[in-house]
């Protein structure tokens, strides 16, 4: 299989939300011709700009590109794009390549791979690990599952959007690894929230506590920026609370299927769900820190203005 370089491959991108729009823009910036589609046509028009165009529907996109990329919210949305009479698999010609980048269950990834194979379409699950700023800067990590030769051919695309990329194994391995990664992301944030609440109740100055904690070896790079934003109670979404909630659900369903006990993850999911139930869909998943402060009875001072 030939390398999918900008002079050889015309790309289609479906799902232009916070992550998808940034990844699509990087592909345009690296010289790829891009056909964009989103359920909100204005998003597709905005991304397409001068070097691409907005498709009117999925069928139009599927019949005009060599490679389809998608970044969608959940399993249901992903299935709706690929299956059915108006989906990618019904319209795309044999030989089309699919790089499916949504965080979905490994079972759905394997299902899409199987359905695509019946139509002569190779599907690689390529889960994204990283925040929206990382997507904008091209520093995300990609976690892939599927055909090794397709993974090799797709490297020019990966190099345009990511700092590093790994093939984990057969179809579904990329999304399985994403669930592993997001387990640590979500549970780690909950642990930080509890630790910060303990520190504040013990009399530590909140801003100093967060500053020093961020400089210790126990805080993962993905959480460092969250502490700086929490210092000013900025919980505007980089990774929305609702998406973390969806991922927790996927993680625990996968654990139940494999008979793996995950008590810490269950507890983190409970707190995340409580915060989400408070009509906080527009907040970052790090808002659980504020919830633990509230549970501990810690009041905001005038300098701690809540943002987002």
Q: Going residue by residue through the chain (308 aa), what tens digit of pLDDT does each one get?
A: 899 999 999 999 999 999 999 999 999 999 999 999 999 999 999 998 767 899 999 999 999 999 999 999 999 999 999 998 999 999 999 999 999 999 999 999 999 999 999 999 999 999 999 988 999 999 999 999 999 999 999 999 999 999 999 999 999 999 999 999 999 999 999 999 999 999 999 999 999 999 999 999 999 999 999 999 999 999 999 899 999 999 999 999 999 999 999 999 999 999 999 999 987 788 999 999 999 999 999 987 654 444 44
Q: Looking at residue 279, what DSSP letter applies? A: T
| Residues 213-231 as b or e (16 or more Cβ within 10 Å = b) | bbeeeebeebbeebbebbb
Q: Are 22 and 136 in contact (CB under 8 A)?
A: yes
Adjacency order of strands within the sheet including 140-145: 52-54, 34-37, 11-14, 67-70, 97-100, 122-129, 140-145, 162-169
The residues of the chain that CATH labels 1.10.1040.10 are 179-295
The CB-based long-range contact list for 110-113 (8 Å cut-off, 24+ gap) reads: 110/171, 110/172, 111/79, 112/78, 112/79, 112/82, 113/146, 113/171, 113/172
Q: What is the CATH number of domain 179-295?
A: 1.10.1040.10
Pairwise CA distance, residues 186 & 190, whole Å: 6
Per-residue pLDDT, 236: 93
Residue 288 corresponds to which tokens in the numbers above? 């659980």
Q: What predicted TM-score, i.e. pTM, was given to this entire model?
A: 0.93
Per-residue pLDDT, 307: 45
The residues of the chain that CATH labels 3.40.50.720 are 11-171
| CB proximity list for 171: less than 8 A, separation 6 or greater | 109, 110, 113, 114, 123, 124, 125, 145, 146
Residue 81 corresponds to which tokens in the numbers above? 């794009």
Per CATH, the homologous superfamily of domain 11-171 is NAD(P)-binding Rossmann-like Domain (3.40.50.720)
Per-residue pLDDT, 301: 65
First to last CA, the chain: 47
């Amino acid at each position: 299989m030939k390398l999918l370089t900008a002079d050889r491959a015309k790309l289609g991108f479906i799902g232009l939300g916070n992550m998808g729009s940034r990844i699509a823009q990087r592909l345009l910036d690296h010289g790829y011709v891009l056909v964009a589609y989103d359920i909100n046509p204005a998003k597709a028009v905005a991304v397409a700009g001068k070097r691409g165009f907005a498709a009117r529907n999925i069928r139009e996109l599927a019949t005009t590109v060599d490679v389809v990329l998608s970044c969608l919210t959940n399993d249901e949305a992903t299935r709706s794009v690929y299956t059915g009479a108006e989906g990618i698999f019904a319209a795309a010609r044999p030989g089309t390549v699919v790089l499916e980048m949504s965080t979905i269950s490994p079972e759905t990834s394997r299902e899409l791979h199987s359905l695509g194979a019946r139509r002569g379409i190779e599907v690689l699950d390529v889960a994204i690990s990283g925040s929206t700023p990382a997507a904008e800067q091209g520093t995300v990590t990609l976690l892939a599952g599927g055909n090794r030769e397709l993974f090799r051919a797709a490297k020019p695309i990966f190099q345009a959007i990511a700092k590093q990329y790994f093939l984990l194994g057969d179809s579904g391995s990329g999304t399985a690894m994403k669930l592993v990664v997001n387990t640590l992301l979500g549970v780690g944030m909950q642990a930080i929230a509890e630790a910060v609440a303990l520190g504040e109740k013990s009399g530590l100055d909140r801003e100093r506590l967060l500053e020093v904690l961020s400089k210790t070896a126990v805080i993962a790079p993905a959480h460092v920026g969250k502490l700086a934003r929490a210092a000013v109670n900025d919980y505007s979404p980089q990774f929305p609370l609702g998406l973390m909630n969806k991922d927790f659900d996927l993680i625990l369903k996968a654990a139940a299927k494999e008979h793996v006990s995950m008590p810490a993850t269950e507890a983190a999911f409970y707190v995340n769900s409580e915060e989400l139930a408070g009509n906080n869909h527009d907040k970052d998943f790090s808002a659980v820190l504020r919830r633990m402060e509230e549970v501990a009875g810690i009041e905001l001072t005038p300098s701690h203005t809540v943002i987002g």
